[in-house]
Structure 1
Amino acid sequence: MLAFGAPVAGLNYLDRPAAFGVAENALGQIALAQVTKPGKAPYFDLPGGAVDGDETEQEAVVREFGEETGLVVEAGLLIDTVSQLFLKSDGQPVRNFGGIYTVKVTGEKPALKVEDDHTLVWLDPRDAVVALRHDAHAWAVAAWMRRG
């Protein structure tokens, strides 16, 4: 597993199984979630998030894509398994760990979108590598581009 992020001394990081996806549109752009939290600068993540209960990573990617973007997707091949240390918006130290997958967009279902602070944005993958908040996500997009 590739590990990203430097721990802050004195903090205990909560381990959180998570999965994310890289979805490409017909223009060669990839889907990102622009996250806007009150009093914070907006940031970009790959759509995805925590694996709930008995879900598989692939099921979590499909659910999270819907909740964050309103897109209906199918999880495809694993790009890689990564971990990322970070501080959540509320300051909680977390270590996300799990797979980043290629995903295929099969439709749109706006009713799936429940996360009002997330907005679907399509970016050129090279721009996404620079814009993404997490190094693990940027690395996965670069690996996805290199592998074709």
Structure 2
Amino acid sequence: MAIPQFGQPEPGRTYGDRPAAFGIAERDGKIAAVRVKKPDHAAWLDLPGGALDPGEGPEEAVVREFAEETGLKVAVGEAYARADQFFVNTSDKAFNNRATFLVLDITGEDAELKVEDDHTLVWLPPHEAIETLRHEAHAWAVAAWLRLLRKR
């Protein structure tokens, strides 16, 4: 199966490959998301996660990123989807996120793990997440997760 590609590259820009991992953690019918607010930019919503550090696999990266962005401790279930997303970050660097999406279980909370002050944990109904997440790939991944749940 082909990996879907989202986003439109800007002509003349080179997009570096950026292996990444994002997760879906559900609590009381809502999924974890982060509201990101950077100076001089409007806030946006993302699934928690991000780039893999050197030597990390998607599983290790999503556990680390979830903790840094939300303060939530998570256990990795299955990797259920892959999708790529062209985007330009707030530092004007162009990337193609090569994302793995994983199902996660929340195992605890530890506020000391949260180190990204510009990220705030929010809980969204899945359909609202589909409508409001910044990246098309994230919205697509939430829809794929909902379909996965329905098959079980």
- CA distance, structure 2, for counterparts of residue 32 and residue 98 of structure 1: 16
Note if 1:66 corresponds to 2:75. no
Q: 2:8 aligned to 6, 9, 13, which one?
A: 6
- CA distance, structure 1, for counterparts of residue 50 and residue 136 of structure 2: 15
Following TM superposition, by how much is the alpha carbon of 1:75 offset from its aligned partner in structure 2, in angstroms?
Answer: 1.3
**Taking every aligned residue pair, what percent have the same amino acid on both sides?**
52
Note if 1:117 corresponds to 2:122. no
Q: SS in structure 2 opposite 1:24?
A: strand
- CA distance, structure 2, for counterparts of residue 96 and residue 33 of structure 1: 17
CA deviation map 1:29-72 (0-9, x unaligned): 00001100111110000000010011110000000000000000
| Residue identity opposite 2:78 in structure 1 | L
Q: How does 1:12-51 map to 2 (within 5 A)?
A: 12-25=14-27, 27-51=28-52
Q: Structure 1, unaligned stretches of length 5 or more? A: none
Partner of 1:91: 92
TM-score, normalised relative to structure 2: 0.95
Q: SS in structure 1 opposite 2:127?
A: helix
RMSD: 0.7
Following TM superposition, by how much is the alpha carbon of 1:89 offset from its aligned partner in structure 2, in angstroms?
Answer: 1.1
CA deviation map 1:64-123 (0-9, x unaligned): 000000000011111211110001012111111031001110000111100000000000
Runs (4 or more) in structure 1 with deviation over 3 Å come to none
| Residue identity opposite 2:114 in structure 1 | K
| Residue identity opposite 1:134 in structure 2 | H
Q: SS in structure 1 opposite 2:76?
A: strand
Q: Structure 2, unaligned stretches of length 5 or more? A: none
Partner of 2:127: 126
| Residue identity opposite 1:6 in structure 2 | Q
- CA distance, structure 2, for counterparts of residue 62 and residue 43 of structure 1: 21
- CA distance, structure 2, for counterparts of residue 14 and residue 110 of structure 1: 33
TM-score, normalised relative to structure 1: 0.97
- CA distance, structure 2, for counterparts of residue 147 and residue 115 of structure 1: 31
| Residue identity opposite 1:35 in structure 2 | V
CA deviation map 1:4-44 (0-9, x unaligned): 1111100001111100000000x200000110011111000
| Residue identity opposite 1:43 in structure 2 | W
